[in-house]
Amino acid sequence: MRSIVSGPTAPTQVAVPVNATEVLVARRNIPLGEVTQPTDFRWQTWPTEAVTPSFITQANGDDGMKLVTDAIARSPLLEGEPVTSQKLVKPGQGGVLAAILPTGMRAISTKIKEETAAGRLILPNDRVDVILTRRERNPSGQDDFASDTLFQNVRVLAIGQAISSKEGAKAPEGAGNTATLELTPRQAELLARANATGDISLSLRSVADGDPKGRGPTAAMNDQRGNTVRVLRYGVPSRAYGVN
């Protein structure tokens, strides 16, 4: 009867000590390529058994914060995500563009302007087709213009010096007059040659045309035709374009 009148007793909470470590995590979402400061991070308690050697912990002392001061985000960091040295690159350790470039690929820039780059609405990480427009002289001695798609599904690494864009932005701030593209070594050679022979245009691809297999940029022509293709115009063969 006494327990019914007084009601149930409050449960007693007993703190059980567990092995924990202070781990450095992102205080906010940090986009790719952003220069970080100590205020962008905080210490958070993390189970010791879940800590990997790549985590930055308080065992690093002051060196932990030094590792993230004036560093460049090599990949995006989410709020609360543990920071690793692999996700940040310090000046002098190689540029951030080199850090995000896949193995075996090359970064090469080409001039762009509003009318040849979708009204400057192409952003970093968009996918484009690369089109070459050049002047040709026909058998009658008159000048003609011809356009060919050199490469398809090419990733844009940067516009000007911007390698990322703010959410909702129509174009990177201070959009430059160059676009840096991700190509294979052979494709980079062909693009450099194309820049010397004509004008380069970028045709923006739909997000729905993404490449789920991750094959990267491809030649516009069928590889089974061989390494080069010679185009006939007015019965006169034009210069050969590489396929690979």
How does pLDDT run across 26-43, given as a tens digit for each residue?
999 988 777 788 899 999
Contact 92, 35 (CB under 8 A): no
As a whole number of angstroms, the distance between CA 142 and CA 144 comes to: 7
- Please list, in sequence order, all residues whose beta carbon lies within 8 angstroms of the beta carbon of residue 134, skipping any fewer than 6 positions away: 145, 146, 147, 197, 198, 199
How does pLDDT run across 168-191, given as a tens digit for each residue?
555 555 456 888 899 999 999 999
pLDDT of residue 214: 56
Query: What CATH fold (topology level) applies to the domain 20-99?
Result: Type Iii Antifreeze Protein Isoform Hplc 12 (3.90.1210)
Contact 73, 101 (CB under 8 A): no
pLDDT over threshold 80, residue 240:
no
pLDDT over threshold 70, residue 241:
no
pLDDT over threshold 80, residue 117:
no
pLDDT over threshold 60, residue 227:
no
- The encoded tokens of residue 96 equal 């951030």
Sequence ranges of the domains in the chain = 20-99, 106-242
Name the nearest CA neighbour of 69 among 52, 53, 60. Answer: 60
Q: What is the pLDDT of the chain when averaged over all its residues? A: 75
Contact 32, 163 (CB under 8 A): yes
Determine if the pTM surpasses 0.85.
no
